[in-house]
Amino acid sequence: MKKLTLEQKLFLVGFRPDAESHLRIIDQDKCRQCEMKPCTYICPVNTYRWENDQITVFFEGCLECGACRIACAECENLEWSYPRGGFGVNYRTG
């Protein structure tokens, strides 16, 4: 079976991205001090990336699972909510 990259898998999922992110890092300084940065690997779609000395949030492909919110719960540095009504992920197969 052909192996797909994560980006290719995301192309298969229906999204209606909002203009603004529904995920927000509160204080990037806390991220700089965070050793493990679990958000950068725990997210099933690599929403959070460490680049240019900060976390960038690629919210458009978010599957709204909530893993990041729990991973960052210790620092309480992630404002997590569902996207606005009508926006976000739209699964076809369930």
Residue ranges in contact with other proteins by CB under 8 A: 1-4, 6, 9-10, 12-13, 36, 38, 41-46, 63, 65-67, 69-71, 73, 81-86, 91-93
Rounded least distance, CB 66 to other proteins, Å: 4
Q: Minimal CA–CA distance to 25: which of 10, 41, 42, 39?
A: 39
Rounded least distance, CB 24 to other proteins, Å: 15
What are the CB-based long-range contacts (under 8 Å, 24+) for 3-12? 6/45, 6/46, 10/45, 10/61
Nearer to other proteins, 12 or 19 (CB): 12
Nearer to other proteins, 45 or 58 (CB): 45
Instruction: Find the helix or strand (DSSP H, E) in which 49 lies.
Output: strand 48-51
Measured distance CA(92)–CA(83) in Å, rounded: 18
Rounded least distance, CB 9 to other proteins, Å: 4
Nearer to other proteins, 25 or 78 (CB): 78
Q: How far apart are the first and last CA of the chain?
A: 22
